[in-house]
Amino acid sequence: MSNTGTYEKPGLLGTFGRDGLMQIILIANTIVMLFPIIIMVMSGFKSNVEIFQSPFSIPDFTDISNFVAMATQTSFLRYLMNSFIVTGASILLLLTLGTMAAYAIARYDFFGSSFILLFFMAGLMVPLKLAIIPLFILFRDLGILNSHWALISVYTAMGLPSTVFIMTGFIRTLPRELEDAARMDGASELRIMWSVMIPLCRPALVIAGIYNLVPIWNDFFFPLVFIQDDALKTLPQGMTTFIGEFSTNWGVMFAGLTLAAAPITILYIVLSKQFINGMTAGAVK
Amino acid sequence: MDAPDTTEAPTQKSRLPRLRMSGRGMWITFLLVPPLAVMALFVIYPIVSALAYAFYDWQGLRRGEFVGFANFSKVLFDEPFATTTWNAFKNNVFVFFALMIIQNGLGFILAYALWRDLPGARFHRIAVFLPVVLSTVIIGYVWKLFFHPIFGAVNQLLRSVGLDVFAGPWLGDPDTALNALIFVNAWAWVGFPTLVFLAGLQRIPSEILDAARMETDSELLLIRKIIWPLIAPSATVCFILLFIGSFNWFELPYIMVGLDGSPFGTTDVLGLYFYRTAFGNQSAGIQDFGMGSALAVLMFLFIAVVATVWTIYLRRREIEV
C-alpha cells in the first residue's frame, strides 16, 4: 500500500528485501499455526500404529471408524447438545438484557444514567473466576448447582458489561429522527424500540454476540466447578471424560478433538471478518 | 378545536404530561431492572462475599467463626502454604514476562507484516487468529499428545530432521515443562495481539507516514519514533489483557500438567493453587474455602492494583491523533 511512495527512493532494493522478509515471516508463522491443526485432523483418520510410525503421512480419509467410535461409544453428541443449549440460552439472554439496559441508557435522559453505564463498565474489569466460591455457595442455596441454570446465570452476568458497552455505543449513533417520526405517529415506546430501533441494531448485535459466543462456548472453568452430572456436561468439560476413556487410542482421541473443534472452526471460517471484528471489539474501540 | 369548557382545559393539559412522564419512568425502570438485578446477584454479591469469606474459618461448606486476617497470614507466611504460594507467584511472573516478549512481541511483528498488505495477507490473518477461537481444552490436549516423549509429533519431527539431541520429555522435564506451556499459550493466543496491533496500525493517518518517510529512510527509526507511539492505545490493551490473563492462568496448565503443577511444582501457578485449595484434589482431598477465598482476594487485589496503576501510566503516553 505504501510502495508507491518509496519507488523513487534509493531504498528500492531495501524495500523489496523488507517485504520479502515480511512475507517469509508470515508464511512461516502460518505454517506453524496450521500444521498442528492439520496433524490433529489427519491423525483422526489413523490407527495408533499409523500415528506412531508415520505421524505426518496423509491418511485414508475414507476410514472414519475413529469418528464413528467417538460419536457412538461416548456421550460426545450429548455434550455437544448441552453446549448448544447453554451457549444459545446465555447469548439470547445476555443480548436481550444487555440491549434493554443499553437502550435505556442511550435513548433516554434520566437521573443516574451515566452512573449506571459506569456500573456496567466496572463489570468489564472484574475477573468473575475469582468469585467462584461465593457463586458455588449461592447456586447451592438456590438449588441450581449441577444444572445448566448455574452456567447460564454466570455467562449472562459475565457477558452483560461488554454487551451494554457495545450496544450503548452503537445505539447512541442512531439518528433521532426515525424515533421522533414514529412517536409523532403515536407508536408506543415498546413499539418504537422493537419495530424501529432493534432492526437497525443488527450489526452491533452480531458483534456483541460473537464477542461473548467464543468464551462461553469454550469455557471450561465454570462447568468444572458447577457440573458433576455427566449427562449435563458441556463439550469442553466432557472432552476430559472421553479423552480419559480412550487414553490409549490416539486415533480416537484426535478424532474427538477434531470433532470438538469443528463447529466453531467452520463458523469462524465462514464468518472470519465478523469473528475478528467481534473478538477484538472491546480492544479496538 | 373549540373547547366547550375553558376551565377544564388546563387540568387536562397538566394531567396528560404527568401521566406520560410516569409511563416513561416505568418503561425505563422496566428496561433497567432485569439487567441490573442479574449484575447485582451474580457479580456484585459474589465479589463482595468473596471478600467477606476470606475472614472466616470454614469447615467444608459451612462457615465457622470470624478469624480476622488468619487465612491471609497462613497463605502468605505459614509453611507449607507460603512456599507454594510464592513458588506459584514466581511462576506467574515468569509466564507474564515470557509471554510479553514472545506473544506480544511476535504479535507486533506479525501485525507490521500484515499491515504491508502483501499478497495472501487475508489468508495469513485468518490463519493466525484460528487458534484464538478454539477451546483451551482442545489446544491443551492436542499439544499434550504432540509433546509425548516417544510418540509425540514434536519429537518425531525433531528426529526426522536429525535433531535427536533436542528430543526430550518436554512436559516431564522440570527444565522444559513451563517453557513448553508458555510456547503453547503463545501459539494459541498470538493472533489476538496481532489483530489488535494491526487495527492500531491501520488507523494511523497516511499523511503522517508519508511526511515521516520524507524525513528518513530508516524504517526502524520510523517504527520507534512514529509508529510505536501512535499505536500506544493498542499496546495498552495488549499489555493489560496479557497481565490479567497471565495471573489468572488456569485452563492450559490444568489440562497439560494437571492440578499439582507437575513435575515437582515447576509449572504450579496461582490459578492451580487456588483451585486445589478451594475445591481439593485427589492427592490432598481437602478443601478450605477460607484459605481459598484469601488467595482469591489477594490475587484480585494484586491484579486490580497493578492493572490500574499500569493502565494510568500507559494511558499517559498515548497521544491523540
Is the pLDDT assigned to residue A26 strictly greater than 50?
yes
What are the tens digits of pLDDT across the range B257-296? Answer: 988 888 888 999 999 999 998 887 655 557 888 999 999 9
Residue B320 is predicted with a pLDDT of 57
Q: How confident is the model at residue B9 (pLDDT cuts 50, 70, 90)?
A: very low
Nearest to A213 by CA among A151, A159, A273: A159
Q: Which of residues 134-163 of A touch B (CB under 8 A)?
A: 134-135, 137-138, 140, 153-154, 156-158, 160-161
Report the chain B residue with the minimal C-alpha distance to residue A100.
B31
Neighbouring residues of A82: CB distance < 8 A, sequence distance ≥ 6:
A148, A232, A233, A234, A235, A238
CATH of domain B72-316: 1.10.3720.10
Residue A284 is predicted with a pLDDT of 61
What are the tens digits of pLDDT across the range B124-140? Answer: 999 999 999 999 999 99
Residue B16 is predicted with a pLDDT of 44
Cβ separation A218–B136 shorter than 8 A:
yes
Q: Once rounded to an integer, what is the mean pLDDT over residues B241-255?
A: 94
Neighbouring residues of B80: CB distance < 8 A, sequence distance ≥ 6:
none
Report the chain A residue with the minimal C-alpha distance to residue B153.
A55
**Grid cell of A137 as nine digits:** 455457595
Cβ separation B206–A284 shorter than 8 A:
no
Percent of chain B clearing pLDDT 90 (strictly above): 51
Per-domain residue ranges of chain A: 3-65, 74-245
Is the pLDDT assigned to residue A13 strictly greater than 80?
no
Contacts of B71 in chain A (CB under 8 A): none
Option in B35, B150, B153 nearest A39 (CB)? B153
What are the tens digits of pLDDT across the range B145-154? Answer: 999 988 899 9
Contacts of B280 in chain A (CB under 8 A): none
Is the pLDDT assigned to residue A32 strictly greater than 90?
yes
Contacts of B24 in chain A (CB under 8 A): 108, 189
Measured over the CA atoms of residue A90, residue A224, residue B268 and residue B165, the dihedral's sign is negative
Q: How far is B225 from chain A (nearest CA, A)?
A: 18
Chain B contact present for A234, CB below 8 A: no
**What distance separates the 2 farthest-apart alpha carbons in chain B?**
104
Output the CA angle B133-B107-B211, nearest 5 degrees. Answer: 130
Reduced to 3 states (helix: H, G, I; strand: E, B; else coil), residue A61 is: coil
Tell me, what amino acid is at A81?
Answer: M
What are the tens digits of pLDDT across the range A35-62? Answer: 999 999 999 999 988 888 888 888 988 8
What are the tens digits of pLDDT across the range B71-80? Answer: 998 889 888 8
Nearest to A35 by CA among B189, B157, B185, B132: B157
The Cα–Cα gap between B58 and B53 comes to 9
Contacts of A52 in chain B (CB under 8 A): 150-151
Q: Which of residues 169-188 of A touch B (CB under 8 A)?
A: none
Contacts of A132 in chain B (CB under 8 A): 278, 296
What does DSSP assign to residue A230? G
Is the pLDDT assigned to residue B27 strictly greater than 60?
yes
* Mean residue pLDDT across chain B: 87
Contacts of A217 in chain B (CB under 8 A): 135
Per-domain residue ranges of chain B: 8-53, 72-316
Peptide bond into B263 cis (omega under 30): yes
Residue A21 is predicted with a pLDDT of 87
Q: How confident is the model at residue A7 (pLDDT cuts 50, 70, 90)?
A: very low
Reduced to 3 states (helix: H, G, I; strand: E, B; else coil), residue B171 is: coil
Q: Which of residues 64-123 of A touch B (CB under 8 A)?
A: 97-98, 100-101, 103-104, 108, 110, 116, 119-120, 123
Cβ separation B118–A22 shorter than 8 A:
yes
Percent of chain A clearing pLDDT 70 (strictly above): 93
Is the pLDDT assigned to residue B19 strictly greater than 50?
no
What are the tens digits of pLDDT across the range A138-194? Answer: 999 999 999 999 999 999 999 999 999 999 999 999 888 888 888 888 888 888 898
Percent of chain B clearing pLDDT 70 (strictly above): 90
Is the pLDDT assigned to residue B175 strictly greater than 80?
yes
Q: Which residue has the higher pLDDT, A125 or B285?
A: A125
Is the pLDDT assigned to residue B185 strictly greater than 70?
yes
Residue A176 is predicted with a pLDDT of 86
Q: How far is B45 from chain A (nearest CA, A)?
A: 8
CATH of domain A74-245: 1.10.3720.10
What are the tens digits of pLDDT across the range A73-121? Answer: 889 999 999 999 999 999 999 999 999 999 999 988 888 888 999 889 8
Q: How confident is the model at residue B189 (pLDDT cuts 50, 70, 90)?
A: very high
What are the tens digits of pLDDT across the range A215-257? Answer: 999 999 999 999 999 999 999 999 998 888 888 899 999 999 9
What are the tens digits of pLDDT across the range B88-101? Answer: 999 999 999 999 99
The Cα–Cα gap between B261 and B88 comes to 9
Residue A14 is predicted with a pLDDT of 58
Output the CA angle A265-A266-A268, nearest 5 degrees. Answer: 65
The Cα–Cα gap between B312 and B306 comes to 10
The Cα–Cα gap between A120 and B44 comes to 11
Beta bridge partners of B63: B58
Tell me, what amino acid is at B253?
Answer: P
Report the chain A residue with the minimal C-alpha distance to residue B298.
A130
